[in-house]
Structure 1
Amino acid sequence: MGREPTRRGPAAEDTGRVRPGPAPHPAAPPRTVEVIWGLLILNTLGSAGAVTVIPLPRSLIQMATMGALVSAFTLALVLNLRLRIRASAYLCLLTLLLVLSVVSSAHLESGFGALFRCFRLALFVGTLWLLSRWWDGGPAFVRYHVRMYFAVLVSVAAGLVVSPGAAMPELYGGRLVGALWPLTPPQIGQYAAVIVGLTVLLLLGRRTTGSSAAAIIVPSLVLLALTHTRTATLGLILGLALAIGSLVLTSAAARRFFGWAVLCATAAAVGLSSLLEAWFLRGQSQENFSNLTGRAKVWDALLAAPRTTLEQLFGTGLGDKSFGGLPIDNSWLAVYNEQGLTGTAIVAAVFLALGGVALLRPPSLSRACAVFLISYCAIASYTEAGLGDASPYLLHLTVAASLLAAPAAPLPTPEEVT
């Protein structure tokens, strides 16, 4: 056999080997991933809240939310049949929290409902593991998050237009609730604050246009104001301050925004101090405000309740985040009640792991969004429950984990394959 001639040309070296081009990027997540994310958000909307315009039986809502979770897990499994996953400290800690929840619920102190909640948490965590294949540090899941929660806010706005009386009932002190789907003011405030913060960061990172950002930010801020939700407002302000602060040294847009924000905040504090104080107090007395609208009484009773050593270590099993028939409204105490000191330590490890990785990452839009989400969840955990079970807060932290994931390895070049 004769020697084959060596091909020459602009793409060839003297050695006859073809120059490798730039490595292709990993494929973008398919649209089905966004559908799965929307189903997870639907599952965490809950079934208890305000009276809706069209009465919806709680059993029907629970069937819809649980069906959404089962559908999300099934779609994720079909989409990732080869079970390609990206292990992370965050998912490992969630899995450990799941195991602990099963152990603490096995003695049925909280009834069979605890085992059902464990099953729900297992499907939830399993779906996150299957979706981890598409975690690459990019903003894809941020966009899913903003779109889906904005769709929820559109339903809230529609309820306000259809029936203003049902959307702002006296039962909630005239605060905005969900008139089409039973959503409470803290829920609506949380969703609005999170998508406002993320959209502001996307705008600063030039990942969206000013008109598109305004179409989301302006109505979301209006709905947030109508909910009179202090926790969400403080979480938005402090979370954005930390996130933008992480960009100040590398982004001129962030520096400009930070400067204007400080100027506007100062002007508002001087000129609108009485109005802001009235909005913040919501007509409550100083005593009621000081004990956090009665929350402190529930917390004191929970901490004073007698517990066995096992209950202190492992809790009483997954419940409805209440004590003595009243909501706990504190993630740390809710976890302590249901998963014990061990569960509290695992949740603390989640924040330490995500926060530590965020500090080690160089300044970027992804890190800023992650810092905002981590900060918001940490602030809200003081007056809201949800860090120990399937909830929007775990979805927020999941988006943060996806943003902090290292970029996926590029596909090998033909030369590397041979």
Structure 2
Amino acid sequence: MGGDLTRDGLPGGPDTAGPRPGAAPGPAGTPKAVGIVWGLLVLNTLGSAGAKTVVPLPRSLIQVVTMGALVAAFALALVLNRRLRVRPSAFLSLLTLLLVTGVISSVRLESGFGALFRCGRLALFVGTLWLLSRWWDGGPTFVRHHVRTYFAVLGSVAAGLVVSPGAALPDLYGGRLVGALWPLTPPQIGQYAAVIVGLTVLLVLGRRTDRAGATVVIVPSLVLLALTHTRTATLGLFIGLALAIGSLLLTSAAARRFFTWAVVCGAVAAVALGSVLESWFLRGQSQENFSSLTGRAKVWDALLAAPRTTSEQLFGVGLGDKSFGGLPIDNSWLAVYNEQGLIGVALVAALLLVLGGVALLRPPSLPRACAIFLISYCAIASYTEAGLGDASPYLLHLAVAAALLAAPAAAAPVPTPEVPRRRVPRRTQRSEVT
């Protein structure tokens, strides 16, 4: 990945700000193996369908690897948290209710036995998050795990681009960047790049890493994001960063300087490179294709027009592959409505509203800003990407936000060493002789 991955910082240097004021350490700190569990969860959510790779990988093999990663993550989390100590939260409770809704909708087998398999996968996913919640303390630990893991994924994308540029920029995807070593689509790569760029910028502003280490992450990630031509990820990055930095303006001089320079540079780029940016944004599409969101609107209209029973409206048809009529839905809200019904939509909306409400009620801080960025990015991406109702990177993003918004864990009481009391011999009183 480049740079030195230290315990307290991103590539390039340690945490220069020290511990957060008022943050109490957890009972025994966060084990390093928690980062391995998080990496396995990320591997599970990479998916098994995508572009053709340089070395053809059977889909069955990829599914075995991803599911094996999830089972290993759950088992390792169970070993690390043998006493099953968890930190209940509204996020995890709503996620559990969403799982229950998915099971209710899937037991009717309208989507086949694959729906029950996906329920089992979601159950392991949610169970692992419950086990990891013991170490959710409002600190940036899980932000660093998130950035490092996805940067490693982007490293494989960059390696594929170097090894086989033709496979990494295929005509099938209009010359957009895909994963040539692991089957990743342009929206996936764009999402990973945008999220780690946004989080790393915020860590720099909060002085939780140095600029040299952050540059190693930000610059290559921005290049890969530009090569994907992913509009949703780009808009989510800029809008999410604007909201997150806006929450720091009153308390951070660095945030005010960055915001000012960003506005100035953005205005200059819009004037000087307006035609180039417009061409990149349109991706050579016609006005009709662009207005229909690359054909997504047609699938959405068909899904909403399809007849449904009352049970299907309330609970959906069961967890599926996020498609309708053989075409991807590419909308989290409609995908949840199709698979988990109106109850699932209400739970997902409550999940985002609870996280957003808690973030707004917190005082300005770096963890709050990172949480605002992740929540806003997921909300923006939910319009053209599916994933909020099933095990996905979007739920991992929101899990990091929940970890950032958790109250600091209470420190374990330090026993006071008992000082041995000195025995004083009792003075015998002499009887008075009369």
Q: Which TM-score band applies after superposition, normalised by the shorter structure?
A: over 0.9
Task: Spell out the pairing of 1:37-48 with structure 2 (5 A cutoff).
Answer: 37-48=38-49
Q: Give the % identical residues.
A: 81
User: Aligned equivalents of 1:360 and 1:91: distance in 2?
Assistant: 19
| Paired residue type of 1:342 | I
1:269 aligns to 2:267 (yes or no) = no
CA gap 1:416/1:370 in 2 versus in 1, 3 angstroms = farther
Which residue of structure 1 aligns with residue 25 of structure 2?
25
Does the CA contact (< 8 Å) of 2:119 and 2:319 recur in 1? yes
User: Aligned equivalents of 2:305 and 2:23: distance in 1?
Assistant: 61
User: Aligned equivalents of 2:23 and 2:149: distance in 1?
Assistant: 33
Shift of 1:59: 0.1
| Paired residue type of 1:201 | L
Which residue of structure 1 aligns with residue 7 of structure 2?
none
User: Aligned equivalents of 1:172 and 1:23: distance in 2?
Assistant: 47
User: Aligned equivalents of 2:60 and 2:284: distance in 1?
Assistant: 35
| Paired residue type of 2:211 | G
Shift of 1:414: 2.6
CA gap 1:271/1:417 in 2 versus in 1, 3 angstroms = farther
1:257 aligns to 2:258 (yes or no) = yes
Shift of 1:416: 11
Does the CA contact (< 8 Å) of 2:139 and 2:404 recur in 1? yes
Does the CA contact (< 8 Å) of 2:303 and 2:324 recur in 1? yes
Shift of 1:415: 5.0
1:241 aligns to 2:255 (yes or no) = no
Does the CA contact (< 8 Å) of 1:331 and 1:388 recur in 2? yes
Q: Give the TM-score of the pair, scaled to structure 2.
A: 0.90
Which residue of structure 1 aligns with residue 424 of structure 2?
none
Deviations 1:204-229 (A, max 9, x none): 00000100000000000000000000
| Paired residue type of 1:270 | V
Which residue of structure 2 aligns with residue 400 of structure 1?
401
| Paired residue type of 2:196 | I
Shift of 1:410: 1.4
User: Aligned equivalents of 2:24 and 2:102: distance in 1?
Assistant: 42
| Paired residue type of 1:122 | A
User: Aligned equivalents of 1:179 and 1:136: distance in 2?
Assistant: 38
| Paired residue type of 1:54 | V
Which residue of structure 2 aligns with residue 146 of structure 1?
147
| Structure 2 gap segments, 5+ residues each | 1-21, 420-434
1:77 aligns to 2:62 (yes or no) = no
Does the CA contact (< 8 Å) of 2:24 and 2:408 recur in 1? no
| Paired residue type of 1:269 | A
Shift of 1:24: 7.0
Which residue of structure 1 aligns with residue 356 of structure 2?
355
Shift of 1:412: 1.4
| Structure 1 gap segments, 5+ residues each | 1-21
CA gap 1:417/1:223 in 2 versus in 1, 3 angstroms = farther
Task: Spell out the pairing of 1:154-169 with structure 2 (5 A cutoff).
Answer: 154-169=155-170
Deviations 1:44-86 (A, max 9, x none): 0000000000000000000000000000000000110100000
User: Aligned equivalents of 1:275 and 1:178: distance in 2?
Assistant: 25
User: Aligned equivalents of 2:80 and 2:338: distance in 1?
Assistant: 37
1:189 aligns to 2:215 (yes or no) = no
User: Aligned equivalents of 1:25 and 1:382: distance in 2?
Assistant: 38
Which residue of structure 1 aligns with residue 340 of structure 2?
339
Q: Give the TM-score of the pair, scaled to structure 1.
A: 0.94
Does the CA contact (< 8 Å) of 2:138 and 2:405 recur in 1? yes
User: Aligned equivalents of 1:372 and 1:186: distance in 2?
Assistant: 18
User: Aligned equivalents of 1:263 and 1:85: distance in 2?
Assistant: 46
Shift of 1:23: 11
Task: Spell out the pairing of 1:204-215 with structure 2 (5 A cutoff).
Answer: 204-215=205-216
Task: Spell out the pairing of 1:80-229 with structure 2 (5 A cutoff).
Answer: 80-229=81-230
More displaced 10-residue stretch of structure 1: 404-413 or 43-52:
404-413
Provide the aligned length of Structure 1 versus Structure 2. 397
- Structure (1 or 2) with the larger CA radius of gyration: 2
CA gap 1:180/1:415 in 2 versus in 1, 3 angstroms = same
| Paired residue type of 1:345 | A
CA gap 1:23/1:362 in 2 versus in 1, 3 angstroms = closer
User: Aligned equivalents of 1:316 and 1:417: distance in 2?
Assistant: 64
